């Protein structure tokens, strides 16, 4: 696996984490479902390829979105 691929996956995870946090703050159920699906997909991709992701901060009372991801 190339470092550029790993960097691209990490960047995608960073964007997905940001989108998930934003969606949680809004009241759009569709945006939240889409953001959750993207986060799950990118963490699965990282785990499958042995890429370590940083654990984003979870909002109080919410599950950590990185839970179960490759660490």
Give the whole-angstrom CA distance, residue 27 versus residue 67: 23
Range of the domain at 57: 1-71
How sure is the predictor about 27, in pLDDT bands with cuts at 50, 70 and 90?
confident
Q: pLDDT digits over 45-69, tens only?
A: 999 999 998 765 444 334 444 444 4
On whether the CB atoms of residues 53 and 68 are closer than 8 A, the answer is: no
What residues contact residue 42 under an 8 Å CB cut-off, 6+ apart?
A: 9, 12, 13, 16
User: Quick one: average pLDDT of 13-24?
Assistant: 94
Per the structure, how many domains does the chain have?
A: 1
Q: Which residue has the higher pLDDT, 55 or 19?
A: 19
Evaluate if pTM is beyond 0.85. no
What residues contact residue 40 under an 8 Å CB cut-off, 6+ apart?
A: none
């Amino acid at each position: 696996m190339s470092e550029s691929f790993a960097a691209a996956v990490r960047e995608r995870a960073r964007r997905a984490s940001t989108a998930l946090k934003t969606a949680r703050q809004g009241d759009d159920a569709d945006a939240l479902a889409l953001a959750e699906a993207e986060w799950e997909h990118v963490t699965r991709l990282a785990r499958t390829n042995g890429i370590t992701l940083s654990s984003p901060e979870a909002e109080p009372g919410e599950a950590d979105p990185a839970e179960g991801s490759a660490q």
